[in-house]
C-alpha cells in the first residue's frame, strides 16, 4: 500500500484537488495556472492529494508534476493517457505517488502489466471506469483504487446518476474515487453516501476565483440541514444561506407537508418519516421508529433503503443534559439534531464533531414558517466555525 492509497484509506471523505489548465470539454480553464502555488494552496485548504494533468491536451507536462512536488508534501497523482511502463517511470521520477490508468484505452492484460509495473516503482494506480463493464474489469484486473468518472470521455456528457449507481455497486474492499461533476458540497455528500472514499475535483476549482478557498468550501463539515420546510420561499432562503440538506416532515406534525418541495442542485432533499419510510422521491430518508405512541428520540438516515448515518436527537418534547456527550460517543456519521440554533451550534460542533447539524424549531416564526434571518445566522455560525464564508 502506497502513500496515495494510505491517505484514501483514512476515515471520512477525502478530496483530490486537480491542476489543469484546459479541458477538451470546457476549453481554457486557467491558462496561467502555477502548479506549485496551486498544490500548496490545496494542501493548506484540506486536500488529501493533488492531481496533476501531464498531457499537453490539458495544457500540462511532467515539469508541472515536478513543480508541485517541490511545493507540497501531499501525495501526487499523475494524470495522462498512459499505456506503457516508460510513462509510469517518468511519472515516478517527476515525483508522483500514483498514476491514472484509463481502462477504456487498455486491454485487461495491459492493465495488469501496468499495475504490476506501478507496484515495482512504488506507484499506486488509480484505475478509471466509466460503466458497469469497466467496473467489473477494474475489479478483475486487481485494481485497489478505482475511479468512477461521471463524464463520458467520448461525448463529454455528464451522468451523475449513473456515476452514483456505479459507486454504490463497487466492492467495499476497494478505494473508490468519484471523478468529475463535483460542483458543490451536496454533490460531494451524494458521492460519499453512495460509498466513495474520495472525490476528484478539477474544473470547479480551476474556474474559481480562489481555488484553495473553493476547495475548503466543498469539503467543509459538518453539513447543514434545515428541517420542517413547508414553503418554497423558505427552501430558497435555506439554499441562498448555504444549507446543504432540506428536510420535509411527512409524519404527523405541525410542520408536516404533503409532498417534498423541489430543491436546487446545491441541496439534498430529505423525507422525515416515523414508523415506516415513505418513498417520496427524495435523495434521503430520515427515519424514526415509534416508541410509546410517539416518535423515538433517535433515528437513522437512509439512502436507497440503506443506513448511511445515525440521527441523534433529543427525547420527544424533552431535554437531556447528556445529549451532546452521548452523541459524541457514537461511531460513524452523526446527524445531530435537537435544540440546535445559531446561539449554540458552534459549541455542539466542538463537543460532537458531527457529520451534519440539523435545526428546525429554532429557525421558525411559527410552526412551518421559517425566519430567514435565523436561517442565515444558523448557517453563518456553522461556516464561521469552519473558517468558510457562508
- Residues 180 and 194 occupy one common structural domain: yes
Whole-angstrom Cα distance, residue 334 to residue 233? Answer: 28
Residue among 105, 161, 162, 163 nearest 137 (CA):
105
Among the three residues 201, 219, 237, which one is the final residue of a domain in this structure?
219
How far apart (Å, rounded) are the C-alpha atoms in residues 167 and 300?
21
Q: Which residues of the chain have pLDDT under 50?
A: none
Task: Please indicate, yes or no, whether residues 143 and 83 belong to a single structural domain of this protein.
Answer: yes
* Statement to judge: residues 7 and 131 lie in one domain: yes
Phi, psi of 261 (to 5 degrees): -85, 160
Total domains in the chain come to 2
Cα separation, 53 vs 59, whole angstroms: 8
Of 279, 247, 78, 284, nearest in space to 164 by CA: 284
Give yes or no: residues 15 and 75 share one domain: yes
Render pLDDT for 176-228 as a digit per residue (tens, 0 to 9).
999 988 999 999 999 999 999 999 999 999 999 999 999 999 999 999 999 99
Q: What pLDDT score does 181 carry?
A: 86
Q: What is the pLDDT of residue 46?
A: 96
H/E element holding 121? helix 108-121
Query: Do residues 323 and 295 lie in contact, with contact meaning Cβ atoms separated by under 8 Å?
Result: no
For residue 292, give the CATH number of its domain: 3.20.20.70
The span from the CA of 198 to the CA of 218, in Å, is 12
CA-to-CA distance for 1 and 314, rounded, in angstroms?
43
Calculated CA dihedral for residues 154, 160, 164, 166, nearest 10 degrees: -20
Q: What is the pLDDT of residue 388?
A: 72
pTM equals: 0.93
Q: Which residue, 131, 127, 126, 52, is CA-closest to 96?
A: 52
Residue 15 domain boundaries? 3-219
**Residues 262 and 337 placed together within one structural domain of the fold:** yes
User: Which of residues 219, 245, 278 is at a domain's end?
Assistant: 219
Q: Name the strand (E) or helix (H) holding 383.
A: helix 372-386
Q: What angle do CA 102, 103, 104 make, to 5 degrees?
A: 90
Residue 324 and residue 300 in one domain = yes
Amino acid at each position: 500500500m502506497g502513500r496515495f492509497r494510505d491517505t484514501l484509506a483514512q476515515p471520512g471523505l477525502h478530496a483530490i484537488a486537480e491542476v489543469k489548465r484546459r479541458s477538451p470539454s470546457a476549453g481554457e480553464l486557467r491558462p496561467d495556472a502555477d502548479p506549485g502555488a496551486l498544490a500548496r494552496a490545496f494542501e493548506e485548504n484540506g486536500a488529501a492529494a493533488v492531481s496533476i494533468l501531464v498531457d499537453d491536451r490539458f495544457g500540462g507536462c511532467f515539469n508541472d508534476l515536478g513543480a508541485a512536488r517541490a511545493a507540497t508534501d501531499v501525495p501526487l497523482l499523475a494524470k495522462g493517457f498512459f499505456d506503457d511502463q516508460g510513462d509510469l517511470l517518468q511519472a515516478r521520477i517527476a515525483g508522483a505517488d500514483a498514476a491514472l490508468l484509463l481502462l477504456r484505452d487498455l486491454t485487461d492484460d495491459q492493465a495488469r502489466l501496468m499495475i504490476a509495473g506501478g507496484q515495482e516503482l512504488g506507484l499506486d494506480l488509480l484505475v478509471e471506469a466509466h460503466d458497469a463493464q469497466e467496473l467489473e474489469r477494474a475489479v478483475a484486473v486487481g485494481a485497489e483504487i478505482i475511479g468512477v468518472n461521471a463524464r463520458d470521455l467520448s461525448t463529454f456528457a455528464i451522468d451523475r446518476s449513473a456515476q452514483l449507481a456505479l459507486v454504490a455497486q463497487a466492492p467495499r474492499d476497494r478505494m473508490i474515487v468519484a471523478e468529475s461533476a463535483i460542483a458543490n458540497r451536496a454533490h460531494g455528500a451524494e458521492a460519499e453516501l453512495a460509498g466513495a472514499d474520495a472525490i476528484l475535483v478539477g474544473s470547479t476549482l480551476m474556474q474559481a476565483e480562489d481555488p484553495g478557498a473553493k476547495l475548503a468550501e466543498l469539503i467543509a463539515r459538518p453539513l447543514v440541514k434545515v428541517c420542517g420546510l413547508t414553503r418554497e420561499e423558505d427552501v430558497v432562503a435555506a439554499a441562498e444561506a448555504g444549507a446543504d440538506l432540506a428536510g420535509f416532515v411527512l409524519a404527523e406534525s405541525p410542520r408536516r407537508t404533503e409532498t417534498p418541495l423541489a430543491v436546487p442542485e446545491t441541496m439534498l432533499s430529505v423525507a422525515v418519516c416515523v414508523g415506516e419510510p415513505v418513498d417520496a422521491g427524495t435523495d434521503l430518508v430520515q427515519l424514526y421508529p415509534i416508541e410509546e405512541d410517539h416518535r423515538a428520540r433517535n433515528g437513522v438516515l437512509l439512502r436507497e433503503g440503506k443506513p448511511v448515518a445515525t440521527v441523534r436527537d433529543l427525547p420527544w418534547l424533552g431535554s437531556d443534559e447528556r445529549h451532546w456527550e452521548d452523541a459524541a460517543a457514537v461511531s460513524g456519521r452523526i446527524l445531530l439534531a435537537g435544540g440546535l440554533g445559531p446561539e449554540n451550534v458552534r459549541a455542539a460542533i466542538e463537543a460532537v464533531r458531527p457529520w451534519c447539524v440539523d435545526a428546525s424549531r429554532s429557525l421558525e416564526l411559527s410552526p412551518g414558517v421559517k425566519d430567514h434571518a435565523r436561517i442565515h445566522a444558523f448557517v453563518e455560525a456553522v461556516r464561521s466555525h469552519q473558517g468558510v464564508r457562508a
